[in-house]
Amino acid sequence: MRTIEIFDTTLRDGEQSPGVNLSSKEKLEIALQLERLGVNRIEAGFAAASPGDLQSVREIAKRVKNSTIVSLSRARLLDIDKAWEALRDAESACLHTFLATSPIHRKYKLNMTKEQVIENAVAAVKHGKKYFDMVEFSCEDGSRTEIPFLIEVVQAVVDAGARIINIPDTVGYTTPAEYANIFTQLLNNVRGIENVKLSCHCHDDLGMAVANTLAAIQAGVTQVEGTINGIGERAGNAALEEVALALDTRKDFYQATTNLKLEEIARTSKLVSRLTGMFVPGNKAVVGANAFAHQSGIHQDGVLKEVTTYEIIRPERVGFKSNRLVLGKLSGRHAFKDKLIELGYQLSQEELDDAFARFKDLCDRKKDVSDEDIVALVDAKLVDVPEAYTLENVQLSYGNNSIPTASVRVRTLNGEVLEEAACGNGSVDSIYKAIDRVTNEEVVLEDYKIVSVTHGKDALGEVYVRLSQGDYTVQGRGVSTDVLEASAKAYLRALNKLVARRGDAVEVVM
Ligand code: KIV
Ligand code: ZN
């Protein structure tokens, strides 16, 4: 049985999903959960992209102890210096540097000859080796590169000291047999390849990312790159939970395993979905809400007689449990703290006090409080930006034949209380117009989504908004038993991020 190492890029390639914009605290929360899941490497970001990115990679590098922390860098010396600045405090660090190798990228994007590509790749790896013992080199668009040239590049960077060689299917173009052949050719033709890890990295443009990844494993790669829930650039990356479960369920066939704690998959998937605002479709393999639901009578009958008739994965295997009702009105601070620890949170005393106060408030509004409610409650308050505006009050006048009117009161950072009212096309519109007035911000509402955290009429409502202002895009999340209050909170949270982010990001061309 071979062990396949897992390289998670949810915080880098995953964060490149359109509209996703995680704060440092959200990234840290995800990184700590990935560590609990047992991934070998966490690509925490792209340190040279902006001071904010560097800071969040550094924070993750300081806090995560059991996974290697990776920063992406272009094959440029200054990018590599930034990666080192971000990773120098890590228990275990890895540089991931890349350069495109395909004819299309060489001609149109890089304007480089083959010789120049090799020269730059080697220079990047050699510079990286001054700081890092572990250097990964990726041949961007590797799957569309001429195989003889790919062999030349890989030989050169292996000779320069790269310890992991990654061949990305950057545009999701390859097929399982074709991709497997690339690795076979490298294994047969590169001297010293047996001393490096071979890695695959697949995108899902043709819906083949997981199939291509599994084909690469069969061909001999020992590291798999991907993201939780398959989020990522365009159609996304290979979904790591699907790869892990394919190996686990079909060990008989693949003869390979991972070191992941599979029972952490459900929690990781929910956290990533909640913090990124990228919802998991009901029919998604392994983590979708319907992945273990049996609808047809024939199937239900079969499952009742013998579960393996129609179920190849037990939900408990990936950590789905029934909604145990755990805490309620009479639960004390101690029980609440124990629950948070069980759910994987490490809160400061101040955060714990705040979460407990909000939990008690929720118990007054909602009879049964489930694990999901507590997670939503705590995550909604993971704030790492100053709260430029805090919601004090929102009031609404609504009738199906009258114009909705909202009044909103907010408190600013310096304690000033501001109040405004506005009419709108609907309740949410009027609230958002009132907030725009009170904050004097001009933003575009790019997206608005609402979901219920659990079932029942008193379920918590969770609202996600995406706002843009010029070049900046931010997300905000708000939770409440009242969806209009949740809507106001989500909008203000996004505005707070916008205020905090202005002046931070730098345009990076990959
Ligand atoms: O898809 C890709 O080519 C990448 C590289 C930067 C590794 O994400
Ligand atoms: Zn990628």
The per-residue pLDDT for 505 is 42
CA distance 226 to 209: 9
- Structure-model confidence comparison of residues 504 and 133, the more confident one: 133
Domain positions in the chain are 2-276, 333-379, 389-501
pLDDT digits (tens, 9 = 90+) for 26-43: 999 999 999 999 999 999
Would the pLDDT of 506 be above 50? no
Taking the CA atoms of the chain, what radius of gyration do you get in angstroms?
24
In this structure, are residues 237 and 14 in contact, taking their beta carbons and an 8 Å threshold? yes
Pairing type for strands 405-412 and 417-423 reads: antiparallel
Would the pLDDT of 352 be above 80? yes
The per-residue pLDDT for 350 is 87
The per-residue pLDDT for 296 is 73
The per-residue pLDDT for 376 is 79
Mean pLDDT, residues 350-363 taken together: 88
- Structure-model confidence comparison of residues 17 and 437, the more confident one: 437
> In angstroms, what is the span from residue 273 Cα to ligand 1's centroid?
22
One fold for 2-276 and 389-501: no
Pick the CATH number of 389-501 from 3.30.160.270, 3.40.50.80, 3.40.50.261, 1.10.1040.10: 3.30.160.270
pLDDT digits (tens, 9 = 90+) for 374-407: 887 887 766 667 889 999 999 999 998 899 999 9
CA distance 346 to 454: 24
Mean pLDDT, residues 315-325 taken together: 77
pLDDT digits (tens, 9 = 90+) for 193-231: 999 999 999 999 999 999 999 999 999 999 999 999 999
Phi, psi of 221 (to 5 degrees): -70, 150
Question: 13 a known binding residue?
Answer: yes
Q: Which numbered ligand comes closest to the C-alpha of 171?
A: 1
Would the pLDDT of 300 be above 90? no
Q: Which of 9, 12, 13, 102 to mutate to test the pocket of ligand 1 (most atoms within 8 A of CB)?
A: 13
Q: Ligand 1: which atom is nearest the Cα of residue 72?
A: 6
Mean pLDDT, residues 145-172 taken together: 98
Question: 169 a known binding residue?
Answer: no
Closest C-alpha among 188, 331, 245, 178 to residue 4: 245
**With bands split at pLDDT 50, 70 and 90, how would you rate the model's confidence at 414?**
confident
Phi, psi of 72 (to 5 degrees): -75, 150
Q: Is 201 in the pocket of ligand 1 (CB under 6 A)?
A: yes
Residue 241: partners with Cβ closer than 8 Å, 6 or more residues away: 228, 229, 265, 268, 269, 286, 287, 318
Pick the CATH number of 2-276 from 3.40.640.10, 3.20.20.70, 3.40.50.150, 3.40.630.40: 3.20.20.70
- Measured between alpha carbons, how far apart are the two ends of the chain, in Å? 38
Q: Which numbered ligand comes closest to the C-alpha of 140?
A: 1
Q: Ligand 1: which atom is nearest the Cα of residue 13?
A: 8
Q: How high is the mean pLDDT of the chain?
A: 92
Q: Which two tokens stand for residue 250?
A: 């079909």
CA distance 147 to 182: 7
Closest residue CA from atom 4 of ligand 1? 170
Closest C-alpha among 135, 194, 198 to residue 162: 135
The per-residue pLDDT for 325 is 54
pLDDT digits (tens, 9 = 90+) for 50-67: 999 999 999 999 999 999
> In angstroms, what is the span from residue 13 Cα to ligand 1's centroid?
7
Q: Ligand 1: which atom is nearest the Cα of residue 203?
A: 1
In DSSP notation, 54-92 reads HHHHHHHHHH--SSEEEEEEES-HHHHHHHHHHHTT-SS
The per-residue pLDDT for 385 is 75
Q: Ligand 1: which atom is nearest the Cα of residue 168?
A: 3
- In the three-class reduction of DSSP (H, G, I as helix; E, B as strand; rest coil), residue 116 is classed as helix
CA distance 116 to 114: 5
Pairing type for strands 461-469 and 444-452 reads: antiparallel
Strand partners, 139: 99
Mean pLDDT, residues 338-353 taken together: 83
Q: Which residues surround ligand 2, an ion (CB under 5 A)?
A: 13
352-381 burial code (b ≥16 CB/10 A, e <16)? beebbebbeebbeebeebbbbbbbbbbbbb
Count of beta carbons in the 10 Å neighbourhood of residue 489: 23
Closest residue CA from atom 7 of ligand 1? 138
- In the three-class reduction of DSSP (H, G, I as helix; E, B as strand; rest coil), residue 342 is classed as helix
Would the pLDDT of 279 be above 80? yes
CA distance 510 to 424: 42
**What proportion of the chain, given as a percentage, has pLDDT over 90?**
69
Q: Which amino acid is at 74?
A: R
Q: Is 98 in the pocket of ligand 1 (CB under 6 A)?
A: yes
